[in-house]
Amino acid sequence: MARLVLSERVQEDFDRIFDHVFQYTPEAAVGRIESIIAALDILESSPLIGRPVQGGQRELVIGSGVAGFVALYRYLSEVDTVFVLAVRSQREGGYRG
């Protein structure tokens, strides 16, 4: 089972997502972050499940539509570790930072 490591940037992404959801549906904000974290847990048992993107990175698609998100990550098999680099809404054009 792979180890899952979230970068500091992911916390900033969670804060941004929480603030956005809270603005429109405050009662759903905590649950939205929890659902993203729960989806990331799949990477521990299936680190190659995400679609490959440039630079040896992968993207995990989480949910769909207005509740859809994409997590950018890199899996290093040598240390059996998944490094989650960023999370964004599927509606955003790219990753921040």
Q: Would the CA dihedral through 22, 25, 30, 32 be positive or negative?
A: negative
Chain segment 38-82, per-residue pLDDT in tens: 999 999 999 999 999 999 999 999 987 667 899 999 999 999 999
Q: Which of 34, 40, 30, 32 is nearest to 83 (CA)?
A: 40
| CATH classification (class only), 3-89 | alpha beta
The verdict on pTM exceeding 0.85 is: yes
Chain segment 3-38, per-residue pLDDT in tens: 999 999 999 999 999 999 999 999 999 999 999 999
Domain extents in the chain = 3-89
CA 50-86-37 angle, to 5 degrees, is 70
88's tokens: 């964004």
The CA distances from residue 70 to 1, 27, 52, in Å, are: 22, 22, 12
